[in-house]
Structure 1
Amino acid sequence: MKTLAFVLPIYNEEGNIPLLYERLVGVAAALEGRFTCEFIFVNDGSRDRSLSLLRGLRAADERVSVYSLARNKGHQIAVTAGLDVADADAVIVMDSDLQDPPEVSHALIEAWEDGADVAYAKRRTREDGYFKKLTAGMFYWVLSKMARIDIPRDTGDFRLMDRRVVEELRRYPERNRFLRGMVAEIGFDQRAVEFDRDARHSGETGYPLSKMIKLAADGIIGFSSFPLRLISAIGMVLAVGAGLWTVYLAVSRLAFPDSVVEGWTFITAGMFLLGGIQMLMLGVLGQYIGRIYEEVQARPLYAFAVAEHGPLPR
């Protein structure tokens, strides 16, 4: 039989874990005889009872593996840790708040068995608020215009990946990770599976606005040099404009030497405008330089405080 691993990042999900496990077991039961399933839970420094619940599942079911990061490192690192330890013919990554229905795994597996190396879940509908839908739409529109590769819209990290793709993904060491973009860049045969995204079952989202902005920045900066090219274009326009303005002032001074130069308010406003643009440009440059600094440090992405896996002791 082929092996199938489910990678599930956990951050303060004590209200979701029991039902999530129950539905995963149902999916595994439907696959019995065709696949040997493993459930890899990666606890990302949860502050509630998530870890104790996971260890309880582990004690009762040897298919459950529990890894706990030494501290909170973020969703993308938690998923990366799960992919690093997964040893299966195919790996399914899904969130643990039940917005990603485990039952969609059957459609992902069907696409994989049909020859796809990556089957990604594409949201047909989503039970999110207006603000979340609006900002998500804006992000994917901007990303589609800026990114140097085609990153599918209305997708998250919910996907099935063949072992070959997972092995390739392990070769990507960057710290500011945008996994859906990294998988898209790897290539292979990638197919969409549409699904209806549910509302969060319990608890609060692990992606507040600040983390969403950080993830959006990782996606845009990690897969596009457009902001740097934009800085050059703005600088060129301003330089040409300043040159023309200087010529105009020189000609005006020669033609009308006794004229009084007015418009100090305009000049002051222009100085503040140029100063703001320069600070914005420096900020964009600082984002790229800061990421270069983090990468050259080459520190480990994570450390495990708990690692419980393999057959249970008898």
Structure 2
Amino acid sequence: MRRVMASKLISIVTPCYNEEENVRELVARIREVFAQLPNYDYEHILIDNASTDGTANVLRQLAGEDSRTKVILNTRNFGHIRSPYHAILQARGDAVIHLVADLQDPPEMIPDFLAKWSEGFKVVLGVKTQSQESPAMYAIRKLYYDLSGRLSEVRLIKNYTGFGLYDHVVVEQLRQIDDPYPYFRGLIADLGYEAALIPFNQPVRKRGITSNNFYKLYDIAMLGITNHSKIPLRMATMAGFFLSAASLFIALGYLIAKLLFWSQFALGTAPILIGFFFFMSVQLFFIGIIGEYVGAIHTQVQKRPHVIEKERLNF
């Protein structure tokens, strides 16, 4: 009877990894939010990426307490890109809301998202205007958003981490794209739907330790650049042209100086060594850039599934 009376079904999607201290509070807060929204029903999909703590057991308990809590347990850790995306594609709601398990995406913003969605927006995004994380990390993230925005061929949204609402039409577009290693934020921008932006102050993580280490942040950064920009490749071509031209002019300058001041002018080994290491470092840098693009192509052609599920509950 509850489902018949509810006009809209909202799918909440939450990726989890070692979040046993947070998931129970998150589920309770979402339940409280929807208790104040009688015109909406919801399902809460939590996907666990092979946590090494007791997260899976907590999720099983939560699924047993409420049939609206749906759980996917992966066979192994499939990474921070593939697992959340897989969960979004499993949602069957009229709209999907993605929020993380560490309580840094406030569930209390869900009514704001639904209000904008009811106005006709297919995409409603939470954008960080302030963050209670360390100033150094916030500055690094801001620098990345500025850099990726300048390099990208589509307009990326600054300080947007994936927290937001996506209409079922948007999710269906993502299903048709069938990207094995998607840059979710870039895909949302690439689809081109007009987005309503809702600013919020990101709270500090309450409990536990974040799994977003330097490697994961670097992976996201390079994924965003390689998937949505060819500028680094063209920079390599232009840099090669200008450096070769500069080398020619420098060589001519040394030749003229040697001819004019044959006895006094000595080339020495320092300029040779400095020039050698400089050009080698430039080559290695751009070889690395090309390698990132080759790696992205390699990932695409493998066409592996996003995850392999070990267990499903309440589906």
Aligned partner (choices 26, 40, 43) of residue 38 of structure 1 = 43
Q: 147, 152, 158: which one pairs with 2:152?
A: 147
Q: 297-306 vs 156-165, which deviates more?
A: 297-306
Tell me how large the CA RMSD over aligned residues is.
1.5
Q: Aligned equivalents of 2:105 and 2:261: distance in 1?
A: 72
Q: Aligned runs of 1:116-155 on 2, under 5 Å? A: 116-155=121-160
CA deviation after TM superposition for structure 1 residue 75, in Å: 2.4
**Partner Cα distance (1:254, 1:269) in 2:** 23
Identity of aligned residues (%): 28
The answer to whether structure 1 residue 17 and structure 2 residue 23 are counterparts is yes
1:267 matched residue in structure 2 = 272
| 1:13-50 C-alpha deviation (Å, 9 max, x unpaired) | 00001111110110121122x11210000001111111
The TM-score, its normalising length taken from structure 2, stands at: 0.94
Which segments of 5 or more consecutive residues in structure 1 lack a partner in the other structure?
none
With structure 1 as the length reference, what TM-score do the two structures score? Answer: 0.94
> What are the within-5 Å matches in structure 2 for residues 177-196 of structure 1?
177-196=182-201
CA displacement, residues 222-269 of structure 1 (integer Å, 9 cap, x when unaligned): 211111111112111111112222333444455556665422211111
User: Is the CA contact 2:128–2:200 (under 8 Å) kept in the aligned structure 1?
Assistant: yes
Q: Report what 2:10 is aligned to.
A: 4
Aligned with residue 292 of structure 1, among 288, 297, 300: 297
Going from structure 1 to structure 2, the CA distance change for 1:192 and 1:259 (only over 3 Å counts) comes to same
The 5 A counterparts of 1:212-231 are: 212-231=217-236
Query: Which residue identity is paired with 1:120?
Result: L
Query: Structure 1 residue 60 and structure 2 residue 53: aligned?
Result: no
Is the Cα contact below 8 Å between 2:222 and 2:292 reproduced in 1? no
Q: What SS does the aligned partner of 1:240 have?
A: helix
Map of 1:91 onto structure 2: 96
Out of 107, 110, 119, which is 1:105 matched to?
A: 110
CA–CA distance in structure 1, aligned partners of residues 274 and 254 of structure 2:
18
> Secondary structure of the residue that 1:194 maps to in structure 2?
strand
Q: What count of residue pairs does the alignment treat as equivalent?
A: 309
- C-alpha distance in 2, partners of 1:184/1:208? 25
1:245 aligned onto 2:264: no
Q: Can you give the 5+ residue segments of structure 2 that lack an aligned partner in the other structure?
A: 1-6
Shift of 1:68: 1.0
Partner letter of residue 282 of structure 2? I
